[in-house]
Structure 1
Amino acid sequence: MRAQVVNRQSLSGLAATLVGNGIGRFAYIALIPALIQQQWFSEAQASYLGVATLLGYIFGAPAANALVKYFERGNLVRWAMIACTLSYLCCAWQHGPLWWFYGWRTLAGVAGAMLMVLAPPMIVRLHQPQLKARVSGVVFAGIGMGAMLSGTLIPLLLLLSLPSAWLGMGAISLVATVLSWPMWRSDPNGSTMAATAGLRDLSQGQWVTLSLILFAYSFNAIGYLPHTLFWVDFVVRELQMSQFHGGFFWAMFGLGAAIGPLITGQLGDRLGVKRALVMAFTLKAFGVALPLISTSSGSLLLSSILVGAFTPGTVTLVSTYTLECVGLARHTKAWSMMTLAFALAQGVVGYVMAYWADGLSSYQPLFMVSAAALGLSIIAILATQTQPQPLAVNH
């Protein structure tokens, strides 16, 4: 492949992979009101099942680092995609015990984290440095497509039955798996360098910047939790809107998530990654805080799109900024550390929020906490100083 050309085949394969990942992670959110209303689970059980996916994310990043020493990356990506698909198909068993659902939702989180750690660096490595933010944008847009599909299709599938919704999402994930399967061939010439390069020889300035990015990314995980755990339930049960309204606003979240990484990728290449990241965190914080100001349909729509756009959009920029800080050879190791920190923050705080929400009469305090967390992310990025590291490109 010529260095100045975007590898469209690799990007389309990765986008299909992350569509399946987006469904595996986010479609459950659109199911929560129906699961409670049709008495599959209590309100607390439904919330904790959402957290189970986040907790699984904690184990996925170290699992990817451990398994990559013994198995080819392409095969690990394939196995993770299969796990995401099975997690939905197996949850269609209406009378299954609670531990069955906890197990499959946790596995979905583990598989999702493995995909996030392993897949993007394999693709970014194939492109020249001038395209790194744009390529990362295409990479993470697939997650938003998965969320958008879930928000659009789940209300329709629920007209049939809840098991049909589970099976429908599993079927879409299966199609994404099949479409992207040939792309994940073994990569003997390019996989080991990024997998084995450590971080011990980073300069003090690099360590400071990497720590600040890690801090910002961890608080970013807290910032998106109310929307990705309770947004549909907030719209349907707290605001007394219909399931279709909940599905519509979740689909708008997904639409934002599909276009957001493309926008932030362009901004990162044109304005610089740091400026683009500060802008993204600021707009995301505004979107999270909007329900505190107004719950009109217009405000809910804008909040859905903004938070949706800058959820994977900030991931795009953080991945690129980490790459600028540590260089290509250490990117996988550093990105794995970022993913683990993100997973710990969202898992622990997500559990606390689920426990807290069970005793609240409104989700509003959760939006307040998350908006404040994103404010801390903005401060951390403003404090960073980094010089782009030289990046080699595989031809």
Structure 2
Amino acid sequence: MCLGIGILRFSYTALLPSTRLAYHWDMNFASILSSANLLGYLIGAFWAMKLPQNSTMPRYILLAAFSGSISLLSCAFSGLSEIWYIFWRVISGISGGLLMILAPSIVAQCCKPEQRLTINFIGFSGIGIGVLVATLFLPYLDRISTQSAWLILFAFATVISMVIGILLHIFKSQLTAHAPQSDKITAINGMYFSLLIVYACSAFSYVPHSLFWIDYLKNTLHLSLYDINLNWILYGSGSALGAITAYLLARKFGNFTTLKILYAFYVVAILIAIFASHPIFTFISSFFTGLLNPAVVFLTSYTILSLYGAAYKKLWSMATLSFAITQLIGGLCFSALQHFGISYHHQFMLASTVLCLGTIQFFIYSYAQQKRPIQKHHSQ
């Protein structure tokens, strides 16, 4: 999770302004690269969904880890063909999509049911840790070259990939011994589709902060380098706290109540970005959008696992695929809005509105289900 989402995805967002300047990219090409990464994520999610749930999964995790690491190295060199950067951004996205589905699927298959909440929390906390790592050296970008920043990330990602390779040996025998009973998806009820809708809405609404936040702070609000760095560090710090926040709330209030709380706050966290009268608003938006994304990803994943058990890989793949498709649509949509001169303020309003609609339908469906307990479909 740390490598696939935290570093492979967010390093580009963090380094976009300095890379654009150093490599003389215009905004249109930067948007194309962002969309290429989202397309790769979609391909990776679809590929992972089609892979068998057996002992071959670790091979694909290693392939994704090292390919993603090389994609970071590819961005360390300027003056190359545009196709070069587009290709490696697609590879980075594919790697992220594979890791996002295969890593939790392996752990879910091999751990005891009573340990799933804790182990999922530990795993998905890697997203926030990776985002935090990608932000740590931002205050020093005026002292090091853009190439050095990319090389640092490549070195870190390579070390993580080697550690993953060592740790994966733990699962080889377990994956053979604990083969899933069936790949069939059975007894999907309306709750899954309600979760799917609000999760997809969060993917669309997440795009402005995940791809264009630094550009907004620098070129629209014209904040100082200190304020921009502080915003991004707050984003990374919030991301690091996302999974633990969702974990503690879920232990206290339960999965569904916690998801309602998180999505409601997510709407506000995105909308508050439009208030530019004082930097405090961007600080709040940075911290809480950073916190809430890994929080809802973790808790949505765990909720699907707790409800549907053996079908988790297929259903989580479908959820990640819907997230990737909606995110790609969002990336193209927001890039088009920028091309036509629509302000960032209007883009944040659109993002919060879409998430608000998704959250409302989730509230309504959950309320309608209160009189009828949700059946669990997992094997103990």
Q: Tell me whether the two structures share a fold, i.e. TM-score over 0.5.
A: yes
Partner of 2:335: 354
Say whether residues 1:375 and 2:356 are aligned partners. yes
Range that drifts further, 339-348 or 247-256? 247-256
8 A Cα contact 1:147 1:251, kept in partner:
no
Matched positions, count: 372
Length-normalised TM-score, structure 2: 0.91
Structure 1 equivalent of residue 153 of structure 2: 169
1:258-273 alignment, distance < 5 Å: 258-273=240-255
The range that moved more, 378-387 or 257-266, is 378-387
Query: Which residue matches 2:291?
Result: 309
Deviations along 1:41-96, whole A, 9 cap, x unmatched?
A: 10111122112111111111121133446871112111111111111001112011
**How far is the alpha carbon of 1:343 from its aligned partner?**
0.2
Task: Verify the 8 A CA contact 2:54 2:179 in the aligned structure 1.
Answer: no
Q: 2:269 aligns with which of 265, 268, 287?
A: 287
Residue 194 of structure 1 and its aligned partner are, at CA, apart by 4.3
Q: Greater CA deviation, 161-170 or 278-287? A: 161-170
- Report the Cα offset of residue 391 of structure 1: 4.2
1:379 and 1:133, CA in 2 relative to 1: closer, same or farther beyond 3 A? farther
Contact 1:55 1:348 in 2 (8 A): no
Label 1:361 to 1:61 Cα distance change in 2 as closer, same or farther (>3 A).
closer
- What runs of 5+ residues in structure 2 fail to find an aligned partner? none
SS at match of 1:230: helix
What does 1:117-266 correspond to in 2, within 5 Å? Answer: 117-157=101-141, 159-185=143-169, 186-190=171-175, 193-194=179-180, 196-199=182-185, 201-202=186-187, 206-266=188-248
Q: Secondary structure at the match of 1:179?
A: helix
Q: Deviations over 1:143-164 (max 9, x none)?
A: 1111111122144245221111
Tell me, in whole angstroms, the C-alpha distance in 2 between the residues paired with 1:63 and 1:161.
Answer: 36
Is the Cα contact below 8 Å between 1:33 and 1:232 reproduced in 2? Answer: yes
Match of 2:78, SS state, is: coil
**1:364 maps to 2:345:** yes
Distance 1:195 1:353, change over 3 A: farther
Q: Is the 8 A contact 1:92 1:164 kept in 2?
A: yes
- Going from structure 1 to structure 2, the CA distance change for 1:247 and 1:103 (only over 3 Å counts) comes to farther
After TM superposition, the score normalised by the length of structure 1 is 0.88
Give the residue type in structure 2 aligned to 1:23: I
Structure 1 vs Structure 2: percent identity of aligned residues?
A: 26
* CA apart distance, 1:40: 2.7
Write the distance in 1 (CA, Å) between the matches of 2:8 and 2:277. 28
RMSD, aligned α-carbons: 2.2
Equivalent in the alignment of 1:10 = none
Change (3 A) 1:158 1:72: farther
- Contact 2:221–2:276 (Cα < 8 Å) also in 1: no
